[in-house]
Structure 1
Amino acid sequence: MNKTVLMGRLTKDPDVRYSQGQEATCIARYTLAVDRMKTKNNQDPGADFISCVAFGKRGEFAEKYLKKGMKVAITGRIQTGSYDAKDGHKVYTTDVVVEEHEFCEKREGAAAPAETQPTADDGFMNIPDDIQEELPFN
């Protein structure tokens, strides 16, 4: 099984291109800075910079909504490849082909409804008492 789940921040706006041909396909490339787990000494171990590519509707989504610095979670698959560079050397590539994008933070400037804003002290959301009536299960 080839399944990858990543959460990180975009290092820059996605680079978007469209394929040529009768039906142009959107191809969005971007890099995610993914923090490594902290060590036992609590030292900052740095980050990995993962190349991601999204095709079609997912590429159009990236073009429209993803911007530098945004924190996103993606699922996808690892794809490797190679090509011959202009100087004749073989270049090997590793990308994550994006299957899903998900925002991990609210947009800057967007206010959440009052009943779902986190409290200042404990960081948990206020949940209304009558929420049980809205849940689709018991």
Structure 2
Amino acid sequence: MSVNTAALSGHLVENATLRSTKGGTMVLNFTVAVTERVRGADGGYEDRPSYIDCAVFGARAEAISRYLTKGTLAMVQGHLRQLAYTDRQGQRRSKVEVMVDELDWRTRRQGDAATA
């Protein structure tokens, strides 16, 4: 048995990007910064950021694209997917991203809140 779930909360590092696949499916991509608090060599604590790529597909992607701007607090639930591709220099690369199933966000404007 295997389990593939991801849940994270953090702020968007830039505005979400909406694009269309060759087949016409809308895709919304964004990156969430999450932090891990670790103890440093001096005994104090420091925050170490990780940047997690996320993707939303379909009509929902287009509907929420204007709300996901830099600094927005996003709570994401979904599953992980590994992508393999060739970069512009011809090197094979891979990355893991969260395929979003549930998304809540809080904007910095007057505490606006929403769910998608």
Structure 2 distance, partners of 1:108, 1:86, is 39
Q: Hey, what does 1:35 align to over in structure 2?
A: 35
Could you say what the CA RMSD is over the residues aligned between the two structures, in angstroms?
A: 2.1
Calculate the TM-score normalised by the size of structure 2.
0.80
Deviation at 1:47, TM superposition (A): 0.9
Q: Hey, what does 1:63 align to over in structure 2?
A: 65
Q: Matched residue of 1:64: which SS?
A: helix
Structure 1 distance, partners of 2:91, 2:72, is 35
| Higher relative contact order, structure no. (Cα contacts within 8 Å, ≥ 6 residues apart) | 2
Q: Does 1:87 align with 2:103?
A: no
Structure 1 distance, partners of 2:107, 2:88, is 43
Q: Does 1:108 align with 2:102?
A: no
Q: Counterpart amino acid of 1:29?
A: N
Structure 2 distance, partners of 1:45, 1:84, is 33
Q: Does 1:8 align with 2:10?
A: yes
Structure 2 distance, partners of 1:73, 1:49, is 14
Q: Hey, what does 1:129 align to over in structure 2?
A: none
> Which structure has more helix as a fraction of its residues?
1
Deviation at 1:37, TM superposition (A): 3.0
Deviation at 1:59, TM superposition (A): 1.5
- Which is worse superposed, 1-10 or 55-64? 55-64
Calculate the TM-score normalised by the size of structure 1.
0.68
Structure 1 distance, partners of 2:31, 2:5, is 18
Structure 1 distance, partners of 2:108, 2:53, is 23
- Gaps in structure 1 of 5+ consecutive residues: 112-138
Q: Matched residue of 1:45: which SS?
A: strand
Structure 1 distance, partners of 2:85, 2:5, is 24
The number of residue pairs the alignment matches comes to: 108
**Larger-Rg structure:** 1
> Which structure has more strand as a fraction of its residues?
2
The partner residue of 2:55 within 53, 56, 63 is 53
- Gaps in structure 2 of 5+ consecutive residues: none
* Identical positions, percent: 25
